């Protein structure tokens, strides 16, 4: 199998799906001849032409509105929002229109589009290039939200997202776009949405994470092992639909949970996970559920490495949870 980084895996998935289905089109700022700001769409314009790889004006609401119209007329658009921080001008289109179309049409119309967007900090991008907006969209019924952590998952999950009959937000952790490398199967394969991945089996504490934070959680778990602490690490992969069976099964086994995400703490997805675990696993819990998150501040430029949850901060939470 070839070794890809996440950018290469995303590019491979787009090429394969565009070759398989002539209705798959890509649109966004600089996605054409330039190949995208991170080169995720490199080579698509040359192979599929300007009718299927479309450069757009710098107008996010227009990009999503156009993709919505394409989807309703039978295409499978994959719009790119260049940075997730810029998705907010398209919020009304996504929340009020894209997410609601199946419900408001009584099931007559679906809206098969995939909004790809790099998200998260760690590249010294400052306030407008570093945010993690997944919680805003998880509050909206009708949307699926997917966050891969590895190249193999990025390709397989993106294939499933493009084939899904309903809208999917596909947030790509740009901090590890090129840093995360791994073997990726050649040709077509799909990883079903809504299936978490237990990446490390353990019996003392469950660590839940996604995207770039999964790598920090895995590092913390390996360091905890040196101290005799046995962690189970779960990569959620899909936040909606959520694989509750895997999450709850793991917490019932270990009796403890540490949740990691880089978005701000208040009303982050960790709060929803914590409430669900408390409701469903109360009698199994041996310690309070811990959250290791970003802070309730605007994303800081000079202090981003202090802001982002790193393995040492996660390791402290693991120790405190196990020793409670």
* In the chain, domain spans: 3-183, 197-323
User: Which pTM does this prediction carry?
Assistant: 0.97
- Which of 127, 129, 261, 305 is catalytic? The answer is 129
pLDDT value at residue 126: 85
Query: Is 28 within 8 Å of 63 (Cβ atoms)?
Result: yes
d(CA 178, CA 196): 23
Question: Where do runs of H (alpha helix) occur along the chain?
Answer: 6-20, 44-48, 60-72, 91-92, 101-104, 134-138, 151-163, 212-226, 244-254, 269-281, 304-307, 311-322
> What are the pLDDT tens digits along the chain (324 aa)?
999 999 999 999 999 999 999 999 999 999 999 999 999 999 999 999 999 999 999 999 999 999 999 999 999 999 999 999 999 999 999 999 999 999 999 999 999 999 999 999 988 888 889 999 999 999 999 999 999 999 999 999 999 999 999 999 999 999 999 999 999 999 999 999 999 999 999 999 999 999 999 999 999 999 999 999 999 999 999 999 999 999 999 999 999 999 999 999 999 999 999 999 999 999 999 999 999 999 999 999 889 999 999 999 999 999 999 999
State whether CATH 3.10.270.10 applies to domain 197-323.
no
Residue 203 a catalytic site member: no
Distance CA 158, CA 139 (A): 22
Q: With contact defined as beta carbons under 8 Å apart, do 179 and 209 qualify?
A: no
Residue 203's pLDDT is: 97
| Residues whose CB is less than 8 angstroms from the CB of residue 66 and which lie 6 or more positions away in sequence, other chains included | 27, 56, 77, 79
CA dist., res. 79 & res. 30, Å (int) = 11
Class in CATH terms, 3-183: alpha beta
CA distance readout (Å), 17 to 21, 29, 144, 286, 297: 6, 20, 19, 46, 40
* Virtual torsion, Cα 172, 173, 176, 181, nearest 10 deg: -40
Contacts with 77 (C-beta within 8 Å, 6 or more apart), sequence order: 24, 25, 26, 27, 66, 67, 70, 71, 113, 114
Q: What are phi and psi of 241, to 5 degrees?
A: -70, 150
Distances (CA, A) of 124 to 128, 237, 284, 300, 313: 10, 25, 41, 9, 20
Q: Do domains 3-183 and 197-323 have the same CATH topology?
A: yes
Nearest to 142 by CA among 101, 105, 90: 101
pLDDT at residue 311, as a whole number:
98
């Amino acid at each position: 199998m070839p070794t890809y980084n996440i950018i290469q895996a995303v590019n491979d998935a787009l090429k394969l799906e565009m070759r398989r289905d002539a209705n798959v089109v890509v649109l966004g700022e600089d996605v054409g001849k330039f190949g995208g700001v991170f080169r995720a769409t490199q080579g698509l314009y040359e192979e599929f032409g300007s009718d299927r790889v479309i450069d757009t004006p710098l107008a996010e609401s227009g990009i999503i509105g156009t993709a919505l119209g394409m989807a309703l007329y039978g295409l499978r658009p994959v719009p790119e929002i260049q940075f997730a921080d810029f998705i907010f001008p398209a919020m009304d289109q996504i929340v009020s229109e894209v997410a609601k179309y199946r419900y408001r049409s009584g099931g007559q119309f679906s809206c098969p589009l995939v909004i790809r967007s790099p998200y998260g900090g760690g590249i010294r991008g400052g306030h407008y290039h570093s945010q993690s907006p997944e919680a805003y969209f998880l509050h909206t019924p009708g949307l699926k939200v997917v966050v891969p952590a590895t190249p193999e998952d990025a390709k397989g999950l993106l294939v499933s997202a493009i084939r899904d009959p309903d809208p999917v937000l596909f947030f790509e952790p740009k901090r590890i776009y090129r840093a995360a490398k791994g073997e990726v199967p050649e040709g077509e394969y799909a990883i079903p949405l809504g299936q978490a991945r237990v990446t490390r089996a353990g019996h003392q504490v469950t660590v839940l994470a996604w995207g770039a934070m999964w790598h920090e959680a895995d590092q913390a778990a390996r360091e905890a092992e040196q101290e005799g602490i046995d962690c189970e690490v779960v990569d959620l992969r899909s936040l909606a639909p959520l694989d509750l069976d895997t999450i709850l099964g793991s917490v019932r086994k270990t009796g403890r949970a540490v949740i990691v995400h880089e978005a701000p703490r208040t009303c982050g997805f960790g709060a929803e996970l914590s409430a669900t675990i408390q409701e469903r696993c109360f009698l199994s819990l041996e310690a309070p559920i811990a959250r290791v998150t970003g802070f309730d501040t605007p994303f800081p430029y000079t202090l981003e490495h202090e802001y982002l949850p790193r393995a040492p901060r996660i390791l402290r939470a693991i120790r405190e949870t196990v020793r409670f």
